[in-house]
Structures are given as C-alpha cells and as structure tokens.
Chains A and B, each alone.
Chain A
Amino acid sequence: MKTGSLVFALLLAAAPLGAQEPAPHAATHEACGAHDPGDIITPHITDSHCLEVPGFPKIWEPREVELPRWAPIHIGSHELDMSPTKHVVMLLVAATLACLILIGAARAQARHTDESGHAKGFAGGIESMVLFIRQEVALPNLGHHGEGYAPFILSLFFFILLANLLGLIPYGSTATGNISVTATLAIITFVVVELAGIRAQGIGYLNTIFYWNKDLPMWMRIPMFVLMTPIEIVGKLTKPFALMIRLFANMTAGHIVVLALIGLIFAFKSYLIGTAPLFMAVAIMMLELFVAFLQAFIFALLSSVFIGLIREGAH
C-alpha cells in the first residue's frame, strides 16, 4: 500500500492544488461515507473505493460498502493497483448490460425472423439502433471494405452509451466522467486508427507521419519535411486527445451542473425559491439524458471518421 500511495502522492504533486497539501492525508484510506458533508459534488464525480448500494427500510440501510483492496501487480519495475473501484464496478455493469441487451436482442431477433421474417418489439428497436450506427454512421465514414471495423464502432457506441446512462440513475456513477476511462478509450481508438492505416496503406502509412511531398522540388521538400512532420504527428495525437477531453468534460460538467443545482435547493433553505433550481435541475437532467446519447454517438462517429480518413489516405 505504501508504494501505491506514493504513486498517488506523486500524481497529486503534479496537480497544482495538490501541491499545497502533502501526501499523508491521502495515504490513510478514508472510511466510506466519511467525506465532508458540505461537499456533495466531489464524491459523485470522482472515483473511490466505496460503492453506494440501495437499501431496504428496516432490513438493509442504504450505505456505502468498501470494495476489496488487492495487492498491486508488478509489471517489470512498475506496479499496478488493480483493486476494483466504483468506476470499475460501473464499467463492469455497463459491459454486462451491453452483453445482456445486445445478445438478448440478437437471440430474439433470430427467433422473430424465423417466426415472422422480421424483429419485433425491443429486439426490433435494438436492431434499428445497431443498423443506424452501422449503416449511417460507421460504413459511410469507414470507406470501402470498412465492414471489419463496424463491430468496433458499435461496441464503442453501446459501451459508452450504457456507461453514460449508468451515471444518471440513482446509486450509479459516471465512469465515462473519469479521465482514465476516456483516455483508455481514446488510446484504444488511436491504436485502432493507426493499425487501420498500416493495414490499408502498407508502407504508404509512413506518409501520414513523415511529410515527403514528391510534387515539390527538392530544395522545398526538405524544409517542408522539417516543418510539417511535427505538425502531422501532433495532428495524429490531437484527435484521440480531443476524444478523451470531449467525453470526459461533457459527462463531468453535466453532473457538476445537476449536483450544483440540487445543492442550491438546500443552500436557499426555502421551499419557494428552492423550486426554481429544482426545475432547472430536472431540465439539465433531461439535457444530460440527451448528452449521454449524443456523446456516445459523437465518439463512435469521430472514431469511424478517423479510421476512414487514414484508410483513404492511400488513394
């Protein structure tokens, strides 16, 4: 635990605010439910080892349970703390829900197709969502013979969508509002994009990194190479960076606004004035519901656009 907390402390030291307060406070694990009663926002939007669970009156009081802590795994000289956190649980729930919903829909669709030739009810709805993402979002942007990447885009969409939606229900938490999650998804997308480029262009893939324009005379080519190559590389890296920040910021900001508005209700301490933030919170919540779909859609759309762009570079 000492080394893990050391890493944590180092991370904190990198952040401007964390620099003021040194590590010891963070090193001791806080008991669950022991945060500042005045701050309702931070525990909601940050990750922790505590999981809120629903309660039943008189049988099981609503409370927070502490998730198990595992010893860090050593990979070479680095160590990795794989203890499950709230967001890990939420990601697992989102993935399980995605499996249940989509595989269930696929089974039902197969059954309905046998019976009446087309999918009905819930399976039909899921089928039309899958078809929309596949036919209208993925395939037109992926370019020719891009069908192989469609399942990746679809998985991204449904995984992000369910993770977003889980943040909107009671006891849930927005895993996609955690920069680690969005960064990992962006890195996965980056790797897939670059691999797609290598697969589609072969040796020509190097042109997407090194600017070597054969139309230019040699005395122009070398300065342009020196000037443009860093821009190409930065351009490559900004795409996943934008994906990461967009999803993270949208999900976090929406939750902060909703929680701030709910906090205002208590801050006013008046039934009369308290109704105004209540309605605003409801409106923002509706907006959040839309944003949950929108951000999943945008992540999937941009990923397919990036894959399509790098694959088309060969032509």
Chain B
Amino acid sequence: MRTLLRSLALSVLLAAPALAQEEAPKADLLSPSYGLMAWTLIIFVVLAIILSRFAFGPITAAVRAREKALEEAIAAAKRDREEAARLLDQHRAALDASRGEAQKLIADARVAAERVRSELVEQAHAEQATVLDRARQEIESEKSRAIAQLRREAVDLAIAGAGKVIDRNLDQAANRQLVESFLASVTPAAVSSSR
C-alpha cells in the first residue's frame, strides 16, 4: 500500500511539469460542452422512456405476476392441507365408530352362540333322560312278562310231570294245590339255578 502511494505521488510529480506545459486540453476537463450536454439529455430521456416502456415494465410485471402465482399456490396448498386434515379426522372418527360397532357385533354373536349351545346341551340332556327312562320301562315290562311266562311254563311243566304221577294214584285237585304251594315258595332264581 505504501509503495502504491509512493508511486502515485511520484507519478503526480512526474506529471506536474507536463500539466504546467499543457494549456488548452487540460483546461477542457472542467469546462462544460453544451453540445455534449444536449446530447446527454436527449440520449438519457429517450433511453429512460424506452427502457421503462419495454424493459422495466415487463420485468416488474412478470415478477409481480410470479409473486402473485406463488402466493396463490401457497394459499391453495394451505387450503388443501386443512382440507386433508379435516378429512383425516373424519375418517379416523368413522374408523373408531366402526371398530366399536364390530366389537359390539362380536360380543353379541358370542352371547347368542353361548345361549344356543346351552339350549342344545339341555335339550340333549333331556332327550337322553327320556330315552333312558323308556328303555328302563321296556326292560322292566319285558322282564315281568318273561317272568310271568316262565312261571306259566313251569306250572305247565310241573302239572304235566305231576299229572303223569297222579294219573296213577292221586286226586288231581289235592295234588295240584300241593304243587302250587311249593312253587310259590320257590324263587325264580332258585328255579333257574335248580334247572
């Protein structure tokens, strides 16, 4: 920096004598030229009019339009986002509601199934009992009938056997009474075992 300043001072010193010798052109530096001033005025005014009409106007208008479009896009995005949030809330609420509904349906179904099952079981139990009762009654009646038949057969056999005996010597009626009394004392089990 110092060398720069020094060289500048040197150059000024070198130029100083030249400045002193030059008269006309140097003085020209600070004296206005009216022709050039008129030219500058004309050129600048024409340039300003042309530029503001054809350059700055369109550029500014385009930038303003772009800014407006951006603002609109931002506003639209905001609107869309709010709409989406609203829809999401709605769907979430609907989902929650339907989930509760499903839970209730399942619970109801479970209760109904339980009831049906218990009813069926009860019915089955009742049927079983009736079937068993009927079977027991049938067995009972079959048994008593078989006993009665057996007893008749035994009587018949005994009579037939005794008839053979008494045919020869005994009074039919007295013998029969004797045998009957004997048979009454004999239990069916003893009969079956003695046979």
Q: Residues on A close to B: CB < 8 A? A: 7, 11-12, 14-18, 20-21, 25-26, 35-36, 38-39, 41-43, 45-47, 80-85, 87-88, 91-92, 95, 98-99, 102-103, 105-107, 109-110, 113, 117-119, 126-127, 130-131, 134, 150-152, 154-156, 158-159, 175, 178-181, 183-185, 188, 252, 257, 260-261, 263-264, 267, 276-277, 280, 283
Contact B22 A15 (CB under 8 A): no
- Flag whether B161 is at the interface (Cβ < 8 A): no
Known: A109-B59, A127-B59, A260-B11. A17 touches B23 (CB 8 A): yes
Extra A-B contacts (10), CB below 8 Å, given A154-B51, A155-B51, A184-B36: A11-B32, A12-B24, A12-B31, A25-B24, A26-B24, A80-B38, A84-B39, A118-B66, A158-B51, A175-B40
Known: A83-B35, A155-B47, A155-B48. A46 touches B29 (CB 8 A): yes
Known: A180-B32, A260-B12, A261-B11. A131 touches B22 (CB 8 A): no
Q: Tell me the nearest residue of chain A to B34, going by C-beta.
A: A80
Which B residues from 10 to 28 make CB contacts under 8 A with A? 10-12, 14-15, 18, 22-28
Closest CB-CB distance, B150 to chain A, in whole Å? 118
Q: Which of A46, A150, A179, A257 contacts B25 (CB 8 A)?
A: A46
Which B residues from 33 to 87 make CB contacts under 8 A with A? 33-41, 43-48, 50-52, 54-60, 62-63, 65-66, 69
Chain B residues near A257 (CB-CB < 8 A): 8, 11
Contact B60 A134 (CB under 8 A): yes
Contact B66 A117 (CB under 8 A): yes
Chain A residues near B28 (CB-CB < 8 A): 12, 46-47
Residues of B within 8 A of A (CB-CB), count: 51
Q: Which of A45, A84, A106, A152 has the most CB of B within 10 A?
A: A106
Chain A residues near B47 (CB-CB < 8 A): 95, 98-99, 155, 159
Contact A80 B35 (CB under 8 A): yes
How many angstroms between the C-alpha atoms of A208 and B28 in the bound complex? 35
How many angstroms between the C-alpha atoms of A43 and B28 in the bound complex? 11
How many angstroms between the C-alpha atoms of A45 and B12 in the bound complex? 16
Closest CB-CB distance, B14 to chain A, in whole Å? 7
Q: Tell me the nearest residue of chain B to A133, going by C-beta.
A: B56
A/B pair count, beta carbons within 8 Å: 193
Chain A residues near B57 (CB-CB < 8 A): 151
Q: Tell me the nearest residue of chain B to A277, going by C-beta.
A: B7
Q: Tell me the nearest residue of chain B to A4, going by C-beta.
A: B35
Contact B41 A106 (CB under 8 A): no
Closest CB-CB distance, B15 to chain A, in whole Å? 6
Closest CB-CB distance, A147 to chain B, in whole Å? 8
Chain B residues near A150 (CB-CB < 8 A): 56, 60
Closest CB-CB distance, A149 to chain B, in whole Å? 10
Closest CB-CB distance, A10 to chain B, in whole Å? 9
How many angstroms between the C-alpha atoms of A127 and B65 in the bound complex? 14
Contact A181 B40 (CB under 8 A): yes
How many angstroms between the C-alpha atoms of A72 and B85 in the bound complex? 79
- Flag whether B30 is at the interface (Cβ < 8 A): yes
Contact B41 A184 (CB under 8 A): yes
Chain A residues near B60 (CB-CB < 8 A): 130, 134, 150
Contact A113 B62 (CB under 8 A): yes
Contact A15 B27 (CB under 8 A): yes
Contact A183 B51 (CB under 8 A): no
